Structure 1
Amino acid sequence: MSSISSVIHQATSCLCDSRGSMHLQQHLRERCRLSDGDFIYIIQGCPQRFLLVPEGNSYTVVGRTSLRLCRIYSRGDRCEGSCQQLHLCKFYVFGNCRFGKGRKLCKLSHDVHSAHNFALLRECTLHELKDNELFLLLLQNSPQLLPEVCFHYNKGSAPHGCCSFQDSCTKVHLCQHFVQGDCMFGHKCKRQHTIDRHGQRILEERGLSRDIIKDLSIIYKNIHYLRATTTAPAASPGAASPGTASPAADNTDAAWFCKAAQTDETEEICLHFIRNRCRFQQNCRRVHFHLPYKWEVYDGTTWSDLENMEEIEKDYCDPASTRSSDYQQVDFVKMTLESMLVRRLSTVSSVMKPPHYSLTTQWLWYYKGDQGDWVEYGQLDEKQLSTSVTSQTLEEAFLSGKKAEVEVIKGRRVYVVSFKDMYQRNPKHKTRRRVCRRPRFVSKAEVDKLVANPRKCSG
């Protein structure tokens, strides 16, 4: 089986290339050597990215995303604060921005990979999608982008039902039962199952390109499935596909890959290799490297090691650093080197192993103090106050995937740390502070010393 992150990326890309939904099981079985049980495990374990819709003896998978276009930005207004929505021109997403084709430049951004947008895409692990693939995901997940299906058109007799606006209606005239997947009349239905010429003209006037319009009937079906899940009870994780074994009930591995750019076994550094004890040798699924961290750059074809890795790591471990001081200038926010993607591989988090394990990665959590400095959770600030939780507490909650927020008490005040947008909020006063997660720095000399002393380098 391919790595979980690779499977999720391939699955997302295939869904977008197939108008947002498809029978994905057979495709992943052939392309990724994925068993039926693994398919259910990954898709059900990643509800932020996929919706599993049972259809007879198989499943349709629908692509999901929590990302939206920022309405404030789309109006041309200035979006204050740390916005968690994309800053893009709506008509560029529609594929038909008239300013993008002429001499006059559009006032809104057409840059999917701007600093603001790329950070959000990377957080949701959607940064490797093509623009048109991302746009399709946005269209079927953002309610404000497409007009609704006309309710009155679906009442009364054809051709316009009870719609008093008829040809001037700004909503879409489509058979509601077709959209819901239960039209018993099929191609003999008197209501439309595709967008007609009149509807196409109305939609083109709203800015949608013909390429999008021809796929709209399928996109509306996907929208129906996605909206239905907001009111329907959650499916039981134990409900495996017909004729297959039930997957494990705990799907936190797959859910984690949808949530953030986390590594899997093939992107995790082998603890045993560092200590010269890996019995799997070349068959090991983990990365073999002499340090508990590894910085790589992607040239469009392969990942290769960055130079001065120790210096980059030292800069990265400083929560105040947004880029490395080395001549290569790695951007820690966008994780890029110039226009190339950068990634950091590491050993497993220290909270995932017993305390006697060494060379695991100890992640430290910080909040931004009143003076602009970064204060580690559990440590004293300039007023000699400390928080009720420590870095270890937050790391355990973060990796468990069971909590989106953690309550923190400092002095007489209560705060909430949100893992979704990495902010600490004061619910009473509506203030917020940035939160940062960085590893503790370990030098090569420290690694060599631990490896040379087997008693201290246990595990």
Structure 2
Amino acid sequence: MSSFSPIIHHATSILCSNKGSMELSQLHRAVFRSFADITEDTFWYIIEGCARFTVVASRPRAEDAQSERIVVAETSLRLCKKYSQNECYQCQDLHLCKYFVYGNCRYGKGRKACKFSHNIQSKHNYPLLRECTLHELNEDDLFLLLLQNDPTLLPEVCAHYNKGTGLFGACTFMERCTKVHICQHFVQDACLFGPKCKRQHSIDEHSRRMLEERGLGGDLIHDLPYIYQNVHRLNLQTLQNEVISEPGLNPVAQTEKNEICLHFIRGKCKFQDQCVLVHFNLPYKWEVNDGKSWRDLRNMEEIERAFCDPKNEHSPGSRPVDLLSMTRNQDPVRRLSTVSSVSKPNHYILTTEWVWYYKGDHENWIEYGKPDDKQRVTSVTSRELEKAYVEDSTAEVTVIKGNRHYFVSFQDMYQRNPKHNTKRKVRRRPRFVSVNDVESKAAQ
């Protein structure tokens, strides 16, 4: 994706300048106006393959209308929660004043300097922004992007306001409520009443005063309803992407996934062609994109065997797969798999067991929870790391080995020693399962 950085940056700027999202057709026109030499294949490859963009379907505005596809700007970057408590010094989150992001830090405007950073170009922040290709965004666009991707930064919508009747619904705090009084269905892009709705679809004077007292700036308050909608869209898409086909659950209503159906491998998927999960005879599937579509790679078992060994950076053969960049001769490569074993009960077979390793002192790779060459064992096992990763793929986990403390960062896949400021590479690889093993387990 690095060669497409100017297009990705431009599309991100367009979305952020348009309250964080816009119809796909509008974004398509805007990008093609600025990049005359871009091809249709390139545009769709960027929109569908880049983690910066999420495409969701909006609710049709009329009974006979088709739903529009909306593109929402996305990022995994967050504000550091510990920074505001003076408890963090080195992490993979931004060190910024929350009220600066809100647009209304009272210290930033007065004589007394704010004790928290207002500098997105700081020594700590700039490398993180550059790594996420966000370093060219202006402050306003960056802050909107951060706000709509981190719901913890936003004031809560009052659930009681959305119940009962009357000016304040069922909210007993009324004008003293510290939550936002706005239509919950509007926030979810699903209000059937439109302008005739009895609930607020914008920020009223009561909520505006409350938000200003909490440090939110006027521009942010104005855009807040749209930010709420985008947060809902992103959260809904995340939930849909995590839905797993279960017995008795009709997957026709699910969003298409790049996940292999467990039941098909065992010959027991009752939905057959209607199943939106991938039907394949193995719990892994290797594909290469030739610029037009994804197609199967040959010798999948050998590629998988190589990938499962953390020391390997390439698969065998005359046209090897780069297992770090996931490319083959610069063509994108992807690995589809069944769901992680930690998210299913033990009796589920052919789930993917992911194993976590750190690089040892002698160019070897050691599984977390297993003894190293000096018989020292980490306090966290590979399975515990996988559970934490499934819950939050951007988190940091504290690991103790001997008398030393380390932080394992899922975002950059390094284990850091904060005392000596050293780091080791971390790799997450599946446990190898051969074709014969699959056939034997599937027959059980």
- Quote the offset at 1:236 in angstroms: 3.2
Q: Which amino acid aligns with 1:78?
A: E
Alignment match, 1:79:
88
* C-alpha spacing 1:252/1:50, structure 2 compared with 1 (3 Å): farther
Total equivalences in the alignment? 291
Alignment match, 1:45:
49
CA contact (8 A) 2:56 2:237 kept: no
Q: Which amino acid aligns with 2:102?
A: F
* C-alpha spacing 1:44/1:155, structure 2 compared with 1 (3 Å): same
Query: What SS does structure 1 have at the residue aligned with 2:71?
Result: strand
- Quote the offset at 1:120 in angstroms: 1.0
Q: How does 1:318-333 map to 2 (within 5 A)?
A: none
1:157 maps to which of 158, 165, 179: 165
1:288-331 CA distance string (max 9 Å, x none): xxxxxxxxxxxxxxxxxxxxxxxxxxxxxxxxxxxxxxxxxxxx
- Quote the offset at 1:71 in angstroms: 1.3
CA contact (8 A) 1:41 1:251 kept: no
Separation in 1 of the partners of 2:32 and 2:355? 36
2:155 maps to which of 142, 147, 150: 147
* C-alpha spacing 1:217/1:425, structure 2 compared with 1 (3 Å): closer
Alignment match, 1:229:
237
Q: How does 1:352-391 map to 2 (within 5 A)?
A: 390=311
- Give the unaligned 5+ runs of structure 1: 239-248, 254-387, 438-459
Q: How does 1:256-267 map to 2 (within 5 A)?
A: none
Query: What SS does structure 2 have at the residue aligned with 1:62?
Result: strand
2:99 maps to which of 86, 91, 103: 91
Separation in 1 of the partners of 2:97 and 2:33? 38
CA contact (8 A) 1:95 1:209 kept: yes
* C-alpha spacing 1:158/1:227, structure 2 compared with 1 (3 Å): farther
CA contact (8 A) 1:44 1:251 kept: no
Alignment match, 1:177:
185
1:106-153 CA distance string (max 9 Å, x none): 111111110101111111111111111110011111222111111111
* C-alpha spacing 1:187/1:58, structure 2 compared with 1 (3 Å): closer
CA contact (8 A) 2:187 2:232 kept: yes
Q: Which amino acid aligns with 1:16?
A: C
Separation in 1 of the partners of 2:310 and 2:20? 42
Query: What SS does structure 1 have at the residue aligned with 2:32?
Result: helix
- Quote the offset at 1:425 in angstroms: 8.6
- Quote the offset at 1:393 in angstroms: 5.6
Alignment match, 2:175:
167
1:16-53 CA distance string (max 9 Å, x none): 11111112222223323445544332112123x11101
* C-alpha spacing 1:231/1:251, structure 2 compared with 1 (3 Å): farther
Alignment match, 2:219:
211
Alignment match, 1:26:
29
Query: What SS does structure 2 have at the residue aligned with 1:215?
Result: helix
Percent of residue pairs bearing the same amino acid type: 48
CA contact (8 A) 2:162 2:169 kept: yes
CA contact (8 A) 1:45 1:252 kept: no
CA contact (8 A) 2:376 2:401 kept: no
Query: What SS does structure 1 have at the residue aligned with 2:323?
Result: helix
Separation in 1 of the partners of 2:78 and 2:152? 9
Query: What SS does structure 2 have at the residue aligned with 1:397?
Result: coil
The alignment's TM-score, normalised by the length of structure 1, stands at 0.56
Give the number of the structure with larger relative contact order, counting CA–CA contacts within 8 Å between residues 6 or more apart.
Answer: 1
* C-alpha spacing 1:226/1:57, structure 2 compared with 1 (3 Å): closer
Query: What SS does structure 1 have at the residue aligned with 2:170?
Result: coil
- Quote the offset at 1:427 in angstroms: 7.3
* C-alpha spacing 1:37/1:53, structure 2 compared with 1 (3 Å): farther
Alignment match, 1:7:
7
CA contact (8 A) 1:68 1:138 kept: yes
1:409-436 CA distance string (max 9 Å, x none): 2636688899999x99967666344448
Separation in 2 of the partners of 1:180 and 1:57? 15
Alignment match, 1:198:
206
Separation in 1 of the partners of 2:134 and 2:290? 19
* C-alpha spacing 1:73/1:424, structure 2 compared with 1 (3 Å): closer
CA contact (8 A) 1:112 1:118 kept: yes
Alignment match, 1:127:
135
CA contact (8 A) 2:84 2:97 kept: yes
Separation in 1 of the partners of 2:33 and 2:191? 32
Q: Which amino acid aligns with 1:60?
A: I
Q: How does 1:242-253 map to 2 (within 5 A)?
A: none
Separation in 2 of the partners of 1:147 and 1:250? 43
Alignment match, 1:66:
76
Q: Which amino acid aligns with 1:193?
A: H
Query: Which stretch of the first structure deviates more once superposed, 118-127 or 399-408?
Result: 399-408
1:381-432 CA distance string (max 9 Å, x none): xxxxxxx8547469943212769986222636688899999x9996766634
Separation in 1 of the partners of 2:22 and 2:210? 28
1:265-303 CA distance string (max 9 Å, x none): xxxxxxxxxxxxxxxxxxxxxxxxxxxxxxxxxxxxxxx
Q: Which amino acid aligns with 2:30?
A: H
- Quote the offset at 1:3 in angstroms: 4.9
- Quote the offset at 1:231 in angstroms: 1.6
- Quote the offset at 1:72 in angstroms: 1.4
CA contact (8 A) 1:16 1:136 kept: yes
* C-alpha spacing 1:182/1:37, structure 2 compared with 1 (3 Å): farther
Query: What SS does structure 1 have at the residue aligned with 2:186?
Result: helix
Separation in 2 of the partners of 1:160 and 1:121? 42
Separation in 2 of the partners of 1:51 and 1:165? 37
1:209-250 CA distance string (max 9 Å, x none): 111111111111001111112321364379xxxxxxxxxx86
Separation in 2 of the partners of 1:36 and 1:86? 35
* C-alpha spacing 1:399/1:166, structure 2 compared with 1 (3 Å): same
Separation in 1 of the partners of 2:221 and 2:289? 37
- Give the unaligned 5+ runs of structure 2: 59-65, 243-254, 259-286, 292-308, 316-320, 327-333, 337-353, 358-364, 367-371, 407-414, 417-421, 426-444
Q: Which amino acid aligns with 2:324?
A: F
CA RMSD after TM alignment: 3.7
